[in-house]
Amino acid sequence: MGFKIAVAGATGNVGREMLNILSERGFPVDEVVALASARSQGTEVSFGDRTLKVSNLENYDFSDTDICLMSAGGTISQKWSPKIGAQGCVVIDNSSAWRYDSEVPLIVPEVNADAVSGFAKKNIIANPNCSTAQLVVALKPLHDFAKIKRVVVSTYQSVSGAGKEGMDELFTQTRAVFVADPVEAKKFTKRIAFNVIPHIDSFMEDGYTKEEWKVLAETKKILDPKIRVTCTAVRVPVFIGHSESVNIEFENEITADQARDILREAPGCLVIDKHENGGYITPYESAGEDATYISRIREDATVENGLNIWVVSDNLRKGAALNAIQIAELLVNRGLIKPRKVAA
């Protein structure tokens, strides 16, 4: 007997990807419901070879729904996730609304699957930031082997991380450049076409941005609170796929060859690391793929026990939709939830 799944925010980039991945992976569903705001009611979205009509989240009764994949933004999640959880439906939330709540597990299944058992306190599980998800997948096996002391990460994040508006702005600006039209910046603080912007999310008092702070806080919560993390987050003119340059300092000795072997065996990781032209991954190749790709693995001679790695993943999949569905699979596979709807 299958589960009843609701996807809230089904008309957005991540919501649509959630529906695609549910179908692709053959998640055991009896029924899938697409939800969004009132203005999207009646819109059609695809689920496998079927078409679903979008219903209004505000009017939906979750009393017989098993899992709600929430991708409707932080404000909506703050309002609705506790109400949905109180009806016995488990919310897997893609926003930052619940990530730092001590009673809400923040889960990347390849990294801290056992922590998922704490979901029952609020019936909410948080999905991490897209940059954090791929980072900790790569760091976890290395941390297990040599214990990480410090991480310095620079992210190169695609415009899809800013939603459909971000993708539209890159397309529109690129076309404007080629036809010599004025280039307007609306979604981003500066022109994104043929440019990079060292600013994602709002600035904080210490000069870091909220996006950078998320990577720090979430890496500590998911992996190890003792790891020191610093981050610079940059928006780049790429449609899909986040990249990260990661410098890691370890307590114990680890060589580049050891790291390569460890990462080749690690769940969710795919190593593409040849010292030749094209012997590495770029975000273009990661689009539509599930893996966290790792390239440019090399020793850092400026510190004791240091490595540099290049990490790339599809931010709409492993960074968001795929990770959420892997969490749902974890709940099912461990028998932590059962279908509530009794078969007729």
**pLDDT digits over 201-240, tens only?**
999 999 999 999 999 999 999 999 999 999 999 999 999 9
Q: Which of 130, 143, 231, 269 is catalytic?
A: 130
- Going by C-alpha positions, the residue among 31, 23, 26, 22 that lies closest to residue 3 is 31
The pLDDT confidence band at residue 344, using thresholds 50, 70 and 90, is very low
Statement: residue 343 has pLDDT above 50: no
* Residue spans in the chain of domains classed CATH 3.40.50.720: 3-127+321-334
Per-residue model confidence as pLDDT tens digits over 246-274: 999 999 999 999 999 999 999 999 999 99
> Any known ligand binding at 12?
yes
Quick check: is 242 catalytic?
Answer: yes
Token output for 302: 């400026």
Residue 95 phi/psi, 5-degree rounding, is -90, 180
Statement: residue 331 has pLDDT above 50: yes
Q: How far apart are CA 288 and CA 198, in angstroms?
A: 26
Instruction: List, in order, residues 6 or more apart from 339 with CB less than 8 Å away.
Output: 1, 2, 3, 4, 30, 66
Q: What is the pTM of this model?
A: 0.95
DSSP 288: T
Per-residue model confidence as pLDDT tens digits over 30-72: 999 999 998 889 999 999 999 999 999 999 999 999 999 999 9
Check: CB of residue 157 under 8 Å from CB of residue 131: yes
By three-state DSSP, how is residue 197 classified?
A: strand
Quick check: is 199 catalytic?
Answer: no
Per-residue model confidence as pLDDT tens digits over 184-203: 999 999 999 999 999 999 99
Give the right CATH number for 131-158+196-313 from 3.30.360.10, 2.20.25.10, 3.90.79.10, 3.40.640.10: 3.30.360.10
Check: CB of residue 90 under 8 Å from CB of residue 5: no
What is the predicted pLDDT for the residue at 236? Answer: 98
Q: Which of 68, 143, 231, 242 is catalytic?
A: 242
Token output for 281: 């991954």
What is the predicted pLDDT for the residue at 342? Answer: 57
What percent of the chain is modeled with pLDDT above 90?
97
Alpha-carbon torsion, ordered 36, 41, 43, 46, to 10 deg: 40
Per-residue model confidence as pLDDT tens digits over 289-298: 999 999 999 9
Residue with tokens 């053959």: 26
> Any known ligand binding at 43?
no
Token output for 267: 């769940």
Token output for 175: 């076309």
Token output for 256: 């580049």
- Going by C-alpha positions, the residue among 87, 92, 104, 86 that lies closest to residue 8 is 92
| CATH code of the domain made up of 3-127+321-334 | 3.40.50.720
* Residue spans in the chain of domains classed CATH 3.30.360.10: 131-158+196-313
